Structure 1
Amino acid sequence: MTTLREVTPDHLQDVLEDLAGTARRQLATSLRSLFRALKRKRLIFHDPARHLAVGDLTGTLRPVPSDLLAGLLDHAATPFARLTIALAAIHAVPATEIRTARTADLNLARGTLELRRGLLRHTLYLEELTHHLAADWLTYRHQRWPASANPHLLVSQKTALDPDHPAVHRNTLQQVLPKGLTLDRLRQDRILDEAFTTGDPLKLMRLFGITEQTAMRYVGTAYPERTATLPR
């Protein structure tokens, strides 16, 4: 190599593959710090160590590879698929809550979607893309099933006119994704990406409505050096 701009995440993984314990943690932490500094000074365009895991990999949260994420919305064939992907990949909504979200809780005028979590509510503030996709879905749904009384935001051919008003099946949601990818992985990737970007557990809690313990887990994965000296 003639420049560090040529380094890829695969190169770093190859270097760390045969290391373990303290040796692995020290080298991985050094690589993370090095490439973060180079990126900050704009000496490299992309940080290959951004998602580099430090320490034991067992049970560690891992981001979805960027090549799997690229073009998901472009390849989604229906308004149903595009809105489902946006809710998981942009707003980190769990699959269960995507299934049970209600049309009455979507307010396009305000640009919000309220998610029901037991007695609690979590408000999503829809950015332009998701707002556009939600509007497209509502238009499509009304044109396709104008007589549907199902209160759920997402409906399918089977559930739209079902008098029992069921939520769409989880498998129906999963079918919008290519093989090897799940909505849970998209959600995990989104939260982990935000943790790498901000390192702020309070922001993660506010943005995604997750618990303190969950937020700390993601931040600990993104920045293990911050928690390495905490008592166990």
Structure 2
Amino acid sequence: MLQPLLPDQVERSVAAAMTPAARLVLALAAVHAARVAQIAALMLDDVDLGNRRLTIAGRARPLDDLTLKLLTGSLNHRRRRWPSTANLHLLINNQTANTTGRASNHWISAPLRGQDASLERLRVDRQLEEALTHGPEPLHLAEVFGLDEKTAMRYADSARTLLDQAAEQHLQ
């Protein structure tokens, strides 16, 4: 059964995200439930600041205030650090700034490596939180996150069990 992260686990990961890119990556996993490979594949064209939209893996999502702030900070850092790069990927580094290639999954996940709240755990936690908050409905989860039916059902089952356990504890 999937378990939610503890607040101190998340806080340690937030503290470990020291750069603008690392903070943005953390938000993309924790708020938008994006996988590392999806984050690495993001292009500048996937960002629509004017309409506050972000397209992840072909799915347009609204930009919340936190992600918008982190995205703007990361783009400003990118513009200052590599003003004449031709790389159209959203996240670039010293190795990719002079190419058109994407940053590696290893580089993207490095700031949170070793943390209890890794990017994968943050992504899972976000999807579980959605099931706990909006009800354990597999169709809702599949629609919001683009999950296949088996995965959506797994999240819904875990949320249902957690909600039942909480109700039982409340009655005692």
**Same structural fold, with TM-score higher than 0.5 when normalized by the shorter chain:** yes
DSSP 3-state at the match of 2:84: coil
Query: Which one of the candidate residues 29, 32, 36 is aligned to 1:95?
Result: 36
Unaligned runs of 5+ in 2: 164-172
The answer to which structure, 1 or 2, has the higher relative contact order (CA under 8 A, 6+ apart) is 2
Distance in 2, Cα, partners of 1:71 & 1:206: 31
Distance in 2, Cα, partners of 1:160 & 1:64: 35
Unaligned runs of 5+ in 1: 1-59, 227-232
Distance in 1, Cα, partners of 2:85 & 2:68: 22
1:222 is aligned to 159
2:21 touches 2:74 (CA, 8 Å); kept in 1? yes
The letter for the 2-side match of 1:66 is P
Alpha carbons of 1:70 and 1:61: their partners in 2 closer, same or farther (altered >3 Å)? same
1:184 is aligned to 120
User: 1:123 offset after TM fit, Å?
Assistant: 1.1
Query: Which one of the candidate residues 197, 202, 220 is aligned to 2:139?
Result: 202
DSSP 3-state at the match of 1:142: helix
Alpha carbons of 1:143 and 1:225: their partners in 2 closer, same or farther (altered >3 Å)? closer
TM-score by length of 2: 0.85
Is 1:172 matched with 2:114?
A: no
Alpha carbons of 1:180 and 1:136: their partners in 2 closer, same or farther (altered >3 Å)? closer
The letter for the 2-side match of 1:186 is L
Question: Percent same amino acid among aligned pairs?
Answer: 36
DSSP 3-state at the match of 1:152: coil
DSSP 3-state at the match of 1:176: helix
Distance in 1, Cα, partners of 2:66 & 2:109: 21
The letter for the 2-side match of 1:167 is R
User: 1:155 offset after TM fit, Å?
Assistant: 0.6
Alpha carbons of 1:148 and 1:91: their partners in 2 closer, same or farther (altered >3 Å)? same
Higher gyration radius (CA): 1
DSSP 3-state at the match of 2:61: strand
- Number of aligned residue pairs: give it: 161
Distance in 2, Cα, partners of 1:176 & 1:223: 33
Which is further off, 62-71 or 102-111? Answer: 62-71
User: 1:113 offset after TM fit, Å?
Assistant: 1.1
User: 1:75 offset after TM fit, Å?
Assistant: 4.4
The letter for the 2-side match of 1:103 is L
The letter for the 1-side match of 2:62 is Y
1:1-232 → structure 2 map (5 Å cutoff): 60-70=1-11, 72-116=13-57, 121-162=58-99, 165-177=100-112, 179-181=114-116, 182-198=118-134, 199-224=136-161
Distance in 2, Cα, partners of 1:207 & 1:74: 28
Alpha carbons of 1:223 and 1:141: their partners in 2 closer, same or farther (altered >3 Å)? same
User: 1:66 offset after TM fit, Å?
Assistant: 2.5
